[in-house]
Chains A and B, each alone.
Chain A
């Protein structure tokens, strides 16, 4: 059974940094692309970043480009999202999700429960 479990969300001050983690089970990152998607309180979904199964192709939304970095540790089957220069508008629940059948055109078939990041002074 595929499962994703995010952690690391906390209250952080504007300008601060944070690293989110996502531990996967039931599949291997080398066989599936993965994404981070966020949802601000009471708002809709926003695609943040994605990494392919080879780990050599990572893409970002313009809103986070240059501030967020996605990486993975295959030995731990863990995905990371390094977040820097955080702004109030980065406040959101952050979800990691698995690409359906390793095909980006199909969408995101499994999601974690999310972790809340609050950026506030």
Chain B
């Protein structure tokens, strides 16, 4: 199975800051990576598919990049509503494993 890691495990940043979350796969997953945002007590929200494609309605301050085994999610200018936990998921091969999550807090 492909294992996923994320760093940092948590980050605290101010409104307007640039935040970068890294996701790493234990094997080459090409560009088959998705990102989700989850707020406490809520279902995950789909943000990005195929590494860099924004789901409809997702603000343009979110962007994704990378390929192979190393990927990033960037929030270009952090907003208060961006707090939550972010998960990456490899969608290259079954089982479609998730990363452990990165918690983003607003200072």
Contacts and interface: CB of A to CB of B under 8 A. Distances in A.
Contacts of B44: 37, 45, 95, 108, 111
Interface of A: 35, 37, 44-47, 50, 59, 61-62, 95, 100, 104-114
B71 interface: no
28 contacts: A35-B96, A44-B87, A44-B100, A44-B101, A45-B87, A45-B89, A45-B98, A45-B101, A47-B95, A47-B97, A50-B94, A50-B96, A61-B95, A62-B95, A95-B44, A100-B46, A100-B49, A104-B91, A105-B32, A105-B91, A107-B34, A107-B49, A108-B34, A109-B46, A109-B49, A111-B45, A111-B46, A113-B42
B19 interface: no
Contacts, number: 67
Identify which of B45, B92, B96, B98 gathers the most chain A CB atoms within 10 Å of its CB. Answer: B96
